[in-house]
Amino acid sequence: MTTIFSGVKPTGHLTLGNYLGAVRRWAEEDQHRADALFCVVDLHALTMQHDPARVRRLSRQAATLLLAAGLDPEQCTVFVQSHVDEHARLSYLLECTATDGEMRRMIQYKEKSAQAKEAGDSVRLSLLTYPALMAADILAYGTDEVPVGEDQTQHVELARDLAVRFNQRYGHTFVVPKATAPTVAARVMDLQDPTSKMGKSHAEGAGIIYLLDEPDAVRKKVMRAVTDSGRDVVYDRAASPGVANLLEVLGSCTGQPPGKLAEGYDSYGALKKDTAEAVVELLHPLQERHAALVADPGYLTTVLRGGAARAREMARPTVDAAYRAIGLLEP
C-alpha cells in the first residue's frame, strides 16, 4: 500500500493557502487511498524567534483544524512531531548524510536568514539544518508520496537526494519519496501582493485569508484584492498575477479550470464577488466542525496520543535499521 506523509507548521493560523495547497487533498483523497500520516510539525516552528505559549496554542489549533478539515483518525494517523522521538533521532543521521552546501542552497533558508538578520535577530542553526529534520519526518515512515504546496518541493527533493545517497552508501534503507502538488492552487498568493505566497507566518494583513476568518472578513479581503491595471479577465500568471490568483482560488473551490472560468467574466468585480462567496461556502462546514471540536478538548488529546503511539510503532523499525546501517552498535 502507498504510504503518504505530510505536515503543517504551527507558525501561525492556518490559511486558505494551506487548505487549497495541501490539507484539503489530505482529507478528500489521500487518507482514503493510502496509509496516511499527517503531522503538526512543531519542532519546525522553533527555527525562528518564537513564543513558547503561542507555539503550544497554535499546535493544538492546527491539529483541531486538521480534524475539522475532515481528517478522520479511523482512516489516517494524526499526531504531533515532537511526540515521536524517531524524527529527531533520524534527523542527526541525515545531517551526517547532507552537505553544508546543499543546506545553504535552500530557498527558505536564504529568505528567512535574510529576514532574521533584517529584524536584528540571530540566525538559529536549526534554520539551516531543519530540511534534514523534514527529510527524517518523511523517510522514517517509508513514505512514497508527500502531498505539499509548490513551496515545499525543494525540501522534498532534498529528502529524495538524501534517501538515494544513504541507500547507496549504507545499503537499501529508505523508500525514495516524491512530492505531489495540486494541479490548481499549488501556490496561493497573498491577495495584497500577488507576487508573494500567502504564508501563515507573514505579518497579519488584508492579503491573507485564515481558515477561521468570519464570512464578512473573507468577503472584505477578496473584494479588496489587488488585481491589475487592465480590465480584461485573463488567466496569465506572469502578466496578471492578481487576477490569475483569484481565478485559481475560484477554480480550486469549484473544481473548474481557471482558464475556462476566465472566459465567463468581463469585470474584476464579478470575479471577486464569486470568489468571495465560493471561499465562504468552502470554509463554512470546516468552521462548524472546528467549533464543535473546540468544545471537547479531551477528544483532541486522545486522538493525538493514539496517533503518536501508532506513528512511533511505524517509524521505529526504519530508524533502527538506519542506525545499524550507518555503523552504530545495537544497544
Provide, rounded to whole angstroms, the least separation between the CB of residue 41 and ligand AQP.
7
β strands within the chain, DSSP E: 3-8, 35-40, 77-80, 145-147, 178-180
Give the nearer residue to ligand AQP in terms of CB position, either 193 or 228: 193
Instruction: Give residue for cell 529568505.
Output: 111
Name the residues annotated as catalytic.
112, 197, 200
CA distance 6 to 18: 12
**CA distance linking residue 220 with residue 225, whole number of Å:** 9
Residue 75 touching ligand AQP (CB under 6 A): no
Q: Which residue is nearest to ligand AQP (CB)?
A: 21
Q: Please, what is the minimum distance in Å from the beta carbon of residue 131 to ligand AQP?
A: 11
In the window 177-196, what residues touch ligand AQP (CB under 6 A)? 186-188
CA nearest to 139, candidates 112, 113, 161, 107: 161
Give the integer Cα–Cα distance in Å for 62 and 14: 7
Which 1-30 residues touch ligand AQP, going by CB under 6 A?
A: 6, 8-9, 11-12, 17-18, 21-22
Residue 163, interface with ligand AQP (CB under 6 A)? no
Query: How many alpha carbons fall within 13 Å on the CB side of residue 326?
Result: 19
* Residue 221 binds to ligand AQP (criterion: CB under 6 A): no
Q: To which residue does cell 518564537 refer? A: 50
Residue 322's contacts (CB-CB under 8 Å, 6 or more residues apart) are 90, 93, 166, 170, 173, 174
Query: Of 152, 173, 240, 318, which one interacts with ligand AQP (CB under 6 A)?
Result: 152
What is the smallest separation between the CB atom of 130 and ligand AQP, expressed in angstroms? 10
CA-to-CA distance for 37 and 55, rounded, in angstroms?
A: 21
Q: Rule CB under 6 A: which of 86-125 touch ligand AQP? A: 108
| Site membership for ligand AQP, residue 257 (CB under 6 A) | no
Using alpha carbons, list the distances in angstroms from residue 65 to 124, 211, 277, 294, 323. 29, 8, 21, 10, 35
Total number of residues that touch ligand AQP (CB under 6 A):
22
**To the nearest whole angstrom, how small is the minimum distance from the Cβ of residue 178 to ligand AQP?**
14
241 binds ligand AQP (CB under 6 A): no
Using CB under 6 A as the binding rule, whether residue 135 contacts ligand AQP is answered as: no
- Residues near ligand AQP (CB under 6 A) are 6, 8-9, 11-12, 17-18, 21-22, 108, 148-149, 151-152, 186-188, 197-201
